[in-house]
Amino acid sequence: MWATSPAASLPYLPAPIPIHTRYPFPLNVRLPRHPAASNQDDGKEISGSDVLWALQRAAAHKKKANRKKKGSASSPEPTQRLEDTIDYTNVKPLQIRTEWSLKLDELEERLHVLQQEGTT
């Protein structure tokens, strides 16, 4: 009789909310701190768990280095201290040299040409 779309009869489900974890992907494996003794004897073969373990160590080291950089660079207090210590009373006056006028005229002409090319 009356045709309805199947999507209209289904309940509305919101999109799942992502869960933020320490790792960008879910990990369900606990790895030993040291590689297995059997892999040390071979010397040439590397198992997948060894690679994953090395990647996790590298990622942790990188995060630690980034935290140190952010902690020292993002603190606003040192920049405020610098602004307080700058003496603006002893500033040299701005000097425009006469030979710059030709270069400024050339740059202005090029700018007008580029603006005209951009509008056409």
Q: Is the pLDDT of residue 83 over 70?
A: no
Q: Whole-model pTM above 0.75? A: no
What per-residue confidence (pLDDT) applies to 114? 92
Mean pLDDT of 43-63: 85
For the four alpha carbons of 46, 48, 49 and 50, in that order, the dihedral sign comes to: positive
Q: Is the pLDDT of residue 6 over 60?
A: no
CA distance 92 to 88: 10
Q: Is the pLDDT of residue 42 over 60?
A: no
Which range has the top average pLDDT, 13-22, 70-79, 87-96? Answer: 87-96
Domain boundaries, the chain: 48-72
Q: Give me the count of residues in the chain.
A: 120
User: Which of 31, 89, 19 lies closest to 56 in space, CA to CA?
Assistant: 31
Rounded to the nearest integer, the mean pLDDT of the chain is 74
4: amino acid identity, one letter: T
Exposure of 17 in the CB half-sphere (CA atoms within 13 A): 2
Q: Is the pLDDT of residue 7 over 60?
A: no
